[in-house]
Amino acid sequence: MDHATHAALLEHIEASLAATIEHADLAPQLRDACRHALLGGGKRLRPLLVMESARAAGGSTESALAAATAIELVHAFSLVHDDLPALDNDLVRRGLPTVHAKYGEALAILAGDALLTLAFVAASSSDHAPKIVSELSRATTRMINGQCFDTLGGFPTNTNTAAQLELIHRNKTGALIECACVMGGMTAGVSEELLAALRNFGASLGLMFQVVDDIIDETQSSEHAGKATGKDREAGKLTYPVVHGLAQSRAEVARLEGEANAAIARIRGLQRASAASTAGIESLLNRCVSRTK
C-alpha cells in the first residue's frame, strides 16, 4: 500500500468517525468525551484491515466503510474502559490524558457505553448488516472475555501459564483484528473458503500484534510509546516476555508473520489474483511487525 492510498483511506475513516459523533444524539459533555476518545489519533489498524481485506477479496473499500467505522468505535470503547482505575488505571493514551483523567470516571464510563452502542448503529448501516453485526458481536464478546481473564483470572482448569497467556491475547486483542479481516471479506460477498483464509490471516496477525505490544511494553520508554510501559510486569500480568523471555517472544513474532504471509498467499491463490490485490494487507502486516509504539 503506497503512501497516497494509505492517506486516502485514513481520510475516509477519520471523516466517517467524526460524522458518527457529530450526527449522534448525545449530551454536549458526552459528545466532547466521545470526541476525545475517538478522534485523538491512533493507528486505525482495525478499520484499515477491514477496507484492505475487502480490496484483497475483490470488493470495494467504500462498501466496507460502515464496518470499518463500527470496529473502530468498539476498539475506542474498549480503550476507554480498559484505562479506568478499576482495570488498568492508565492516565495517558496516545500521549494525551485518558478519558477518565480528563473528564472523570462517570463520564468515561458513559462515553465508553455510547461508543459501543454507536458501533452497532454503524454496523447496521452496512449493506451486509446481519453478517457484520453478528461477526462484530461475537468478536466484542471475545474481547471482553479476554479482558476478564487478564484482569480477574478464572481460567479453564488444567491450562498452563503459556496456554493462559495465549487465551488472553487471542481474545483481548486478537478477536477484533481477526474480525476486521473477516468483515472485510463479508462486504465483498466472498466464499466461505476465502473467508476462512482471511480469518486465518487475522488470527495470526492479531496474536502477533499483541506479542509485539508486549515487547514494546518491556523495551520502550513511556515517552516513545505514548502510554505507560512496564506496568504489566509490575502488576504481575502474563506477557510473552514474562512467560517466554524476549528472545523467544521475537521468535514467535517471526513465526506468526510466516503464518500470516502463508494466509496471504492462500488468499491470492483462491482469488487467482496478482500480488497487487493483497498489497494493502501485506503492508499492514509489515507495519505491525516493525512498529515500536
- The structural domains of the chain, ordered by start, are 3-290 (1.10.600.10)
Summarize pLDDT for 265-285 with one digit per residue, the tens: 999 999 887 778 999 999 999
Decide which of 253 and 234 is more confident. Answer: 253
Average pLDDT, the chain: 94
Neighbours of 107 (CB within 10 A): 20
- Residue count of the chain: 293
Summarize pLDDT for 129-172 with one digit per residue, the tens: 999 999 999 999 999 999 999 999 999 999 999 999 999 999 99
Q: What is the pTM (predicted TM-score) of this model?
A: 0.95
d(CA 275, CA 73): 31
Summarize pLDDT for 52-80 with one digit per residue, the tens: 999 999 999 999 999 999 999 999 999 99
Q: How confident is the model at residue 213 (pLDDT cuts 50, 70, 90)?
A: very high
Name the residue among 197, 185, 191, 209 with its Cα closest to residue 51.
Answer: 185
d(CA 204, CA 132): 21
